[in-house]
Amino acid sequence: MLTFDFYSPEEEISHPLYRQKKVQVFIKRDDLIHPYLSGNKWRKLKYPLQEARRQGKQRLITFGGAWSNHLLATACAGAKFGFQTFGFVRGEAVENPVLKLCSLFGMRLLFVDRTGYRDKRGLFDQHFADDHEAFFIDEGGYSTLAAKGCSEMISELEKSYDHICCASGTGATAAGLLQGIQQAQLTTQLQVVPVLKGGQFIQKAIADLGVSLDHRLTLQLDYHFGGYAKTTPELIAFVKAFTQRTGILIEPTYTGKLCFALHDMLQKDLIDPGQRILLVHTGGLTGLLGMLNKFDD
C-alpha cells in the first residue's frame, strides 16, 4: 500500500472579526502535509496511486496549467513512489519555477494548445494508447478515488463543526467532504467556494462522482473574483492582511478566496453567532511564485 505518515492539525485562528461575530474559526492545515504533496493533493492522489500500483502501471499521465500544483504534486509523488510521470501542460511553451520543479522530480512535459487540451482522454489515447503501463489521472486529480481520499478528512477531525468551508476547482475535494459528512451522519453544513466563474457546475461535478446532493451543501458563487487565478486589489489586500495577522500563509487562487468569502459572510451576518467553523487549507502555496508581483506595495 502506498502511503506516508503526515500530520494536519486543526488550528484555531484569532481575529477581531471572529470575536465580534462570536464565532470560533479553525483551519485544517493540510498545507503542512508535505512541501509539494500538500493540501488536498495527497488526498486526491492517494487512492489513484494505489490503483496504479495494483494494476502494475509504471507511468502516471496527467494534465494541468503552467502553474499547476497538481502537476507538481504528481511529479513529486511519482519520484517518491517509483512511477515515471508525464504532464500535458495547457497553453504555449513557457518556463517557470513550478514547471522546473516538475522536471526536477523527473516529469516529462508536453505543451498543448488550449483547443487540443480540452480533450484529455483524446490526448492520452493519442500518445499512450499502446502503452499498457500508462495510467490516466485527470486534471486536478478529479475522480471517484480522489473524492474517497478527501472524504477521510472528516474522520480525522478532533472537534465537531457547524460549518466546514472549502474552495473548489474541479469539485473532487467538495465531493469527498460531503461524502464524509454523509457517511458520519453529521449535520455539518458544507460551504463550498468555487474559484471559477460559473461555479454552479460544481454541483454536477459532485453528483458525477456518485455523491448525493443534499441540504448540507451550499455553493457560495460570488467569490471567484473574475475567474480561475483572477485577482483584484481587494483580494490581494485581504490575503496580505490575513497572512500578516494570523501567520498562516494563504494564496489568492484558492484559500485566499475561501477566507475572503468567510469574512464577507460573517460581516453580512449570514452565519449565526456561536457557530464553530472549519476552513480547509488546500495548500497550493507554490502558486504564489507566479503572483508575487501582485503583492508589491
- Nearest CA to 103 among 85, 82, 91? 85
Question: Is 203 within 8 Å of 213 (Cβ atoms)?
Answer: yes
Domain boundaries, given as residue ranges, for the chain: 10-38+149-295, 40-141
CATH topology agreement for domains 10-38+149-295 and 40-141? yes
The reported pLDDT for the residue numbered 121 is 97
67: CB partners within 8 A, 6+ apart: 96, 98, 229, 286, 287, 289, 290
pLDDT at 3 over 80: no
Q: Whole-angstrom Cα distance, residue 190 to residue 166?
A: 8
The reported pLDDT for the residue numbered 296 is 85
- Residue pLDDT, tens place only, 279-297: 999 999 998 988 988 998 6
Question: Is 36 within 8 Å of 6 (Cβ atoms)?
Answer: no
Confidence of residue 5 (pLDDT cuts 50, 70, 90): confident
Sign of CA dihedral 198, 200, 205, 206: positive
C-alpha cell at 104: 526536477
Instruction: Return the ∠ at Cα 138 (arms to 133 and 144), rounded to 5°.
Output: 100
The reported pLDDT for the residue numbered 161 is 98
C-alpha cell at 246: 494570523
- Residue pLDDT, tens place only, 87-105: 999 999 999 999 999 999 9
Backbone Cα Rg of the chain: 19
Mean pLDDT of the chain: 96
The reported pLDDT for the residue numbered 2 is 78
Q: Tell the CATH topology of 40-141.
A: Rossmann fold (3.40.50)
* pTM as predicted: 0.96
Confidence of residue 225 (pLDDT cuts 50, 70, 90): very high
- Nearest CA to 253 among 196, 198, 181, 215? 196
- Residue pLDDT, tens place only, 119-128: 999 999 999 9
Confidence of residue 260 (pLDDT cuts 50, 70, 90): very high
Question: Is 255 within 8 Å of 197 (Cβ atoms)?
Answer: no
> Residue 268 to residues 57, 84, 264, 271: CA-CA distances in angstroms?
51, 49, 6, 8
- Residue pLDDT, tens place only, 18-44: 999 999 999 999 999 999 998 999 999
C-alpha cell at 205: 461535478
pLDDT at 1 over 80: no
Question: Is 149 within 8 Å of 44 (Cβ atoms)?
Answer: yes
DSSP state of 275: -
Question: Is 163 within 8 Å of 188 (Cβ atoms)?
Answer: yes
Question: Is 264 within 8 Å of 231 (Cβ atoms)?
Answer: no
Under DSSP, is residue 37 helix (H, G, I), strand (E, B) or coil? Answer: coil
Average pLDDT over residues 226-253: 96
- Residue pLDDT, tens place only, 31-87: 999 999 989 999 999 999 999 999 999 999 999 999 999 999 999 999 999 999 999
Q: Tell the CATH topology of 10-38+149-295.
A: Rossmann fold (3.40.50)
Question: Is 173 within 8 Å of 166 (Cβ atoms)?
Answer: yes
Average pLDDT over residues 176-194: 98
- β-bridge mates for residue 164, sequence order: 190, 278
Question: Is 78 within 8 Å of 62 (Cβ atoms)?
Answer: no
Exposure letters 54-76 (e unless 16+ CB within 10 A, then b): eeebebbbbbbbbbbbbbbbbbb
